[in-house]
Amino acid sequence: LVLMEDGETAASRFVSSGEPVDEETLFQVVSLSKWLAAWGVMKLVQEGQIGLDDPVEAYLDRWSLPPGEYDRSGVTVRRLLSHTAGLGDGLGYNGFTSRAEVQTLEASLSRAADASPGSAGSVRLVRAPGSEWAYSGGGYTLLQLLIEEVSGRPFDAFMKAEIFQPLNMQQSTFDLDEARRRGLAENYRRDGTTEPFRYYTALAATSAFTSAGDLTAFLKAQYPGERARGAAPLAPETLREMRRSHAARLGADIWGLGVMLYAPNNQGDFVIGHDGNNEPSINTAVRFDPGTGDGIILLGTGNGLLATHIASEWVLWKTGHVDNLMFAEGIGGMILTAGTGTAILIFCGLFFAWKTRRRRQP
């Protein structure tokens, strides 16, 4: 746990029931990986190597979206970053037990062998691009392929050279074996037993390994104060575009480019960040206010959604606004409660109507 104020670390706390952890200990951050990967995509955009509103397939040779009823040219880089491309993959990746099992990117995009239960597993268009927001792990695997094709480098090598090294994120990697060598936190289940780490094809979507210290450097680079300028790979105008709303749900702005918009920061901007959740073990959460330089970083295992809940309470404390992620989770609970209550009322009404009718019968 790290708390930031005015772009600097204000407090930190490191606790483990196993091997000790500190600010340099690596954690797998699962879906929070997408925020890091989005920086890689935006670096290529900033350099003019790709266009945000270009069809992603204009840059691909190794794989193409399968044909269907919707126009594939509408699947743009911008829409993939903001989960509005119309993909219906439902991914969710479970990973592989050994490196030898890992699929190629092309094979995984066609049909992920490690798709989580209930997932379609294939990246395809199921709705008109731009018509609505729908979270897509497969979309970020497609962006991983885009980075490799345009840069001519493996995804992990590109991210280290273009994003991690300029930010002095010395520990961060997308390689599990390298993470183990550098010091990887144990991966606990809720019952205190350990969950084995797995290998992934979908590195951009779910398999970054990073530390609290490296994420602190990552957030500092997004604070517009003079201390944060330095050699940051993305310019302030690029970061502002990433924080601009590109998707809304229930009237609330929820998503930028690779980053979730958790709540208005009362300064014309948003508290931003990303979460990662991989039951039964990993939960990570980061929130950052670029207006104040205040933030919170939580990396944990073995505690369900504890990191997300604490981060969401931090948003409410700092802004007076309910965190959009907790609001969405609460809506599900409210719908279930309302549905249950309605069913009980209907049952009671039918029961008393039946009882009344029986009394009236001769």
DSSP string, 259-284: SEEEEE-SSSSEEEEEEEEETTTEEE
CA 199 to the chain's CA centroid: 18
* pLDDT on residue 347: 42
Divide the 362 residues of the chain into consecutive groups of 10 and give the mean pLDDT of each group: 97 95 97 98 98 98 96 98 94 95 98 91 96 96 98 98 97 98 95 95 98 97 70 91 94 95 96 94 97 97 95 97 77 39 42 50 48
* pLDDT on residue 1: 98
Beta strand 209-210 with 260-264: parallel, antiparallel or unpaired? unpaired
* Contact status, residue 207 vs residue 159, Cβ threshold 8 Å: no
**Phi, psi (5° rounding) for residue 149?**
-65, -45
Between CA 144 and CA 221, with CA 211 as vertex, the angle to 5 degrees is 75
SS3 27: strand
Detail the DSSP E strand segments found in the chain.
2-5, 8-12, 27-28, 209-210, 247-249, 252-255, 260-264, 270-278, 282-289, 294-301
SS3 77: helix
* Contact status, residue 173 vs residue 157, Cβ threshold 8 Å: no
- Please state the pTM of the whole predicted model: 0.90
3-state DSSP helix/strand/coil % of the chain, to nearest 5: 40, 15, 45
